[in-house]
A and B are shown apart, each in its own frame.
Chain A
Amino acid sequence: MASSKSSTDEFIKGLWNENPVFVQVLGMCPVLAVSNTAMNALAMGLATAFVLIMSNIVVSSLRSFIPKQVRIATYFLIIATFVTVVDYVIQAVSLDLYKALGAFISLIVVNCLLLGRAEAFASKNTIARSTMDGLGMGIGFAFALFCLGAVREILGNGSLFGASLFHDSFENWVVMILPSGGFFTLAGWLLLFNWLKQRRAKREATTALGLRKEVA
């Protein structure tokens, strides 16, 4: 683990450089399935973020207490607990939202992002850094879902958060709210992210070259 990294770096990396959806391409099931409207996507993203932050905190604080042999089972126990908590809380907040998200709340349990962060990060790092990691990754995940949901809702339904954006005569791109639209939108965003990454890498390479020349 790079000890030179500050907690802020752990937070930032999840938002952009190691964004769970756009860079790591993790947790595709909810990304494709419940991103058909901005509201569903954001709610799903925030629910996942909450579970991720809490499980990161608990896993990291118990990391010396949990023997290696039973760690996966224990992580699942912890993750499943917070998923159940989120399930109840969403029911208490809004039944409509609960109905819209349906089975996908329970399916947060098997989102590989959660186990991945618990195993790869929280079990090896301090509580503070694990919290920042969970925050960054969780918000990055919610942001990515929102990106997909917003595009799909605007094109597929002509609205954002249920509020109609265009004149009534707007022709809905029905395909966007169908499952295949999820793939198209995800592909579009991945394209954009890779393009930005390449461009930055190129620019960094040229500035590095320029610096070396100057030094010489």
Chain B
Amino acid sequence: MANGGKTLEIRTSPHILSGYSVDTIMFNVVLALLPVAGFAVFAFGLAGLLTLSMAVASCVLTEHLICRAAGKPSTVGDWSVTITGLLYGLTLPPSLPLWMVAAGGVICVALGKALFGGLGYNTFNPALVGRAVLQAAFPVAMTSWIPGFAAGRFSSVPSSTLTLPFTSPEYDAITSATPLALWKFGREATATSDLAMGFISGSAGETSSVLILVGGVYLIARNMMSWRIPASIFATVFVFSGALHLVDPTRYASPIFMLFSGGLMLGATFMATDMVGSPMTSRGCYLYGALIGVVTIVIRTWGGLPEGVMYAILLGNAVTPHLDRWTRPTIYGAKGKEAPT
């Protein structure tokens, strides 16, 4: 270039780029998550803030250290691990001891991401891997919820948050049940407006459905997220739980309740749409969403746990490679479905 001559650049495909790099997309996802995180801090005060900060910090630090240990450049700058940390933090009960948050963060990145080969190879959503391990390891702590909007939430933290590492938490504040647990164990429904606005107890980030939807709409509007997956999940959940509700309204909760309670909104909008773990084809996306929706309702209705979104999405992630293969489009001019390999 310096001598004024033109160089011929030879590159492999793709030659047409969308203009979005990984960093741009990931940064925008972080932006879309910020209102949700902000509401979590507003609702749960210092406990929410500490949980989220510790989740992000442990994930980012683990990624950095693993890159260093592997002798590769640190990939912290592409924002993807920040998303993992944020999402992971948002799925946790706000009063979870910080040492458990940190341990889970290490598991998220080390087990869920780095072991599979880093960004682009993580078959399972790393945030959910961390949460699933915590759920199995500390079943009691992972299902102890504090009520939101407590009076002194900005000046004090629940005693369980600052539990010493490797010791059991003690809960002083009144723990309260999530709407799903209320329904599962007491057939007690919660007002839809409370569910939508987030005036309920639950994981740090799953309470405000409205803000989650705002973030999702922003990403879809900028064409950074597949709308098919959340749409398919919501439609499946609505139809399936609606059909059950029609059969017996006293046993099966209403479809609106199913849509707005628990981690369904957060999971469907931000976790099921993870680009690595979701199918590539449109038809695959619909099937993937339907599978997640059905499994969620099956677990919520007949399973032993009140909430099943996490397992539904992890199962969906596992099925994704098959969905991609089954829904492979026919190559132009080729006969039948068998594409040359």
Contacts and interface: CB of A to CB of B under 8 A. Distances in A.
- The answer to A–B direct touch (Cβ < 8 A) is yes
B341 interface: no
B168 interface: yes
Given A166-B166, A170-B167, A175 B136 contact: yes
- Determine the interface band of chain A, counting residues with CB < 8 A from chain B: 10 to 19
Of the candidates B136, B139, B164, the one having the most CB atoms from chain A within 10 angstroms of its own CB is B136
Contacts of A174: 136-139
Nearest to A158: B166
Interface in B163-184: 164, 166-169
B167 A173 contact: no
Contacts, number: 28
A170 B138 CA distance: 12
A175 B133 contact: yes
A146 B241 CA distance: 48
B168 A178 contact: no
A96 B138 CA distance: 29
Q: Is the interface of A mostly helix, strand, loop or mixed?
A: loop
Nearest to B97: A171
22 contacts: A167-B167, A169-B164, A169-B167, A169-B168, A170-B166, A170-B168, A171-B138, A171-B141, A171-B166, A171-B167, A171-B168, A171-B169, A173-B137, A173-B138, A174-B138, A174-B139, A175-B133, A175-B136, A175-B137, A176-B137, A178-B136, A180-B136
A175 B133 CA distance: 7
Interface residues of B, number: 13
Interface string B139-173: 10100000000000000000000001011110000
Interface of B: 97, 100, 133, 136-139, 141, 164, 166-169
B196 to A, nearest CB: 34
A175 B140 CA distance: 12
A173 B167 CA distance: 11
Contacts of B133: 175
The 10 closest A-B pairs by CB, nearest first: A175-B136, A175-B137, A169-B167, A171-B168, A173-B137, A169-B168, A174-B137, A171-B167, A170-B166, A174-B139
Nearest to A168: B168
Interface of A: 166-167, 169-171, 173-176, 178, 180
Nearest to A169: B167
A192 B236 CA distance: 44
A167 B165 CA distance: 12
Of the candidates B100, B139, B164, B168, the one having the most CB atoms from chain A within 10 angstroms of its own CB is B168
Of the candidates B97, B139, B166, B169, the one having the most CB atoms from chain A within 10 angstroms of its own CB is B166
Nearest to A191: B115
A178 B132 CA distance: 14
Contacts of B139: 174
A180 B135 CA distance: 12
Contacts of A180: 136
Contacts of B136: 174-175, 178, 180
A173 B141 CA distance: 11
A170 B167 CA distance: 4
Contacts of B169: 171
Given A171-B168, A173-B138, A174-B139, 11 more contacts: A169-B164, A169-B167, A169-B168, A171-B100, A171-B138, A171-B141, A173-B137, A174-B137, A174-B138, A176-B137, A178-B136
Contacts of B167: 167, 169-171
A32 B168 CA distance: 27
Contacts of A167: 167
Contacts of A166: 166
Contacts of B138: 171, 173-174
Nearest to B169: A171
Nearest to B163: A171
Contacts of B141: 171
B211 to A, nearest CB: 32
Nearest to A156: B137
B238 to A, nearest CB: 33
A170 B168 CA distance: 6
Contacts of A169: 164, 167-168
A174 B138 CA distance: 6
A71 to B, nearest CB: 42
A50 B167 CA distance: 40
